Amino acid sequence: MTRAFGFGRTAVLGAVLAGAVLLAGCERPPMTSTQQGYRGTGMVQIDNPRIKAAQEAARPPIPAVTPPAPTEGPKARDIFQNVKVLGDLSVAEFTRHMASITAWVAPNEGCNYCHNPANLADDSKYQKVVARRMIEMTQHLNASWDKHVAKTGVTCYTCHRGNAIPAQVWHKPATPQRNRPDVMLGNDFGQNRAVPSIGLTSMHYDPFSDFLQGEEGIRVAGPAALPTAGYKKSIQSAEKSYSLMMHMSEALGVNCTFCHNTHSFQVWDSPPQRAVAWYGIRMARDINNAYLTPLTASFPKERLGPAGDVAKVYCATCHQGQNKPLGGNAMASQYIGLVALAQPAAPALPAPVDEPRKSVLYFGVGSSALEGAQAKGLAQLIVTMTGNARTVATISGYHSAAGTLAANQELAKQRAFAVRDALLAAGVAEARVKLEKPQQTEANIAGEDPVARRVEVTLR
């Protein structure tokens, strides 16, 4: 009995210990779950609040935005010798941009990381050549990929975070020895290497070459239940799609349900984030193919990967575990050199002429809308028309000489229509409004002349 009891105790102890060992790999509850989609679809984001809090606390503070500098005064291109991208900035703004770039990319090394201190105009350091292209790339991302980066935008800090080499980049892996045709060890077919960027799964460890540099199709589901002629996807390519999906989830710190209604991964009845992610994939290809790969020759050898390729970006480069990089911090908008160089403000339109028998209304470049003060320029003329039923309004449109004649005539016509509609809206009968053919204006010597973009209304 005692013996049996003793045996039982050992067994229980063993079971408890085994359980503890097995559970050690699990995260301790409670977890939080946030509903993402329709009820009953299982579209929830599950987080461990303790791990999340520790991750947030470990993030270094985002460098402060220095106050914008005056935009007046001489331009950088007039004062310095070799500015090709940021030349339109004022000298003060240019200097502020240099200081922030240093804080974002080379805080410890300082200006000399990119510059030859004896001559700041010198381009002999590869870092400066790369940085110039990076400025153009950042401008391009903010200007042309707003479908992904929205108003949040990106700065150098989004990727670099105080490091010359962003912490999360990828290279093509070297072909392992065993995969050579003359070696008898079996080919690993790209599997079973613990790669953190795909969540330590055993799936293909390089989905990036095909999908974020190459333009291979990611979608794997066929159009019919059984294989059809003309549609062929190997198990291996499906695995690559899944390992890219693992990367996307890991990079953003989210579950698959952040982007998918998992009753069917292929259908688009999914959250809006999936469309944002679709653009993100195309944007990463654009960065890698249009900016990074062409810089390969500029980098020293030790910066290239085992296959001789330059470091490239994937989702984690910007996102680093957050669904919006840096928690959606929008500091890019504070740096006009990275968003878009300031456009000169459009000259103000002249005040409308508002007389009892004549109105003159002015329009913006390319616009046929009666905006602001211009909308009030018919007041006196309408008073005359209401008091005198025999008057007829004649509308003539004028256009400037800038641009093509056909487009200008169409615009002048639309402007005349806008004025006619304003008269009809004020209660004037249609029969009392006469439209004349648009005329090219006499005041066209200087091209875009605000006085040329006008409609005149005269009472007869």
Candidate ranges 50-58, 119-127, 421-429, 449-457; the one touching ligand HEC (CB under 6 A): 119-127
Integer Cα distance of 60 and 286 in angstroms: 29
Q: Are 314 and 210 in contact (CB under 8 A)?
A: no
Interaction between residue 313 and ligand HEC (CB under 6 A): yes
- Report, in Å, the least distance between residue 266 CB and ligand HEC: 3
Answer for which of 75, 193, 303, 358 binds ligand HEC (CB under 6 A) is: 303
For ligand HEC, the binding residue among 195, 203, 315, 422 (CB under 6 A) is 315
User: What is the DSSP code (8-state) at residue 216?
Assistant: -
Residues 125-184 within binding reach of ligand HEC (CB under 6 A): 127-128, 130-132, 134-135, 138, 141, 148-150, 152, 154, 156, 158-160, 164-166, 169
Q: Using CB under 6 A, which residues numbered 191 to 220 contact ligand HEC?
A: 218-220
Q: How many helices (H) and strands (E) does the chain have?
A: 14, 8
Give the angle 132-138-140 at the CA atoms, nearest 5°.
105
The verdict on 86 binding ligand HEC (CB under 6 A) reads: yes
- Supply the minimum distance, in Å, between the C-beta of residue 246 and ligand HEC: 5
Is residue 324 at the binding interface for ligand HEC, with CB under 6 A as the rule?
Answer: yes
Q: Which of residues 55-84 bind ligand HEC (CB under 6 A)?
A: 80-84
Contact region for ligand HEC (CB under 6 A) — 3-11, 184-192, 254-262, 380-388? Answer: 254-262
Closest among 193, 288, 305, 206 to 247, alpha carbons compared: 206
Q: Which is nearer to ligand HEC, 141 or 361 (CB)?
A: 141
For ligand HEC, the binding residue among 317, 368, 400, 408 (CB under 6 A) is 317
- In the complex, least distance from residue 278 CB atom to ligand HEC, rounded to whole angstroms: 4
- 3-state DSSP assignment of residue 376: helix
| Window 399 to 458, contacts with ligand HEC (CB under 6 A) | none
Q: Report the distance separating Cα 150 and Cα 142, nearest Å.
A: 8
The answer to the question of residue 91 lying near ligand HEC (CB under 6 A) is no
Do 324 and 152 form a contact (C-beta atoms < 8 A)?
A: yes
User: In the complex with ligand HEC, which residue's Cβ is closer, 43 or 412?
Assistant: 43
Residue count, binding to ligand HEC (CB under 6 A) = 82
66 vs 334: CA distance, rounded Å? 9
Residue with token string 């470990």: 58
Q: Which long-range contacts (C-beta less than 8 Å, at least 24 apart) are formed by 142-148?
A: 142/332, 142/338, 142/339, 142/340, 143/339, 143/340, 145/279, 145/283, 145/286, 147/276, 147/279, 148/276, 148/279, 148/280, 148/283
Residues 6 or more apart whose Cβ sits within 8 Å of residue 325: 152, 154, 158, 318, 319
Which of 51, 121, 194, 351 touches ligand HEC by CB under 6 A?
A: 121
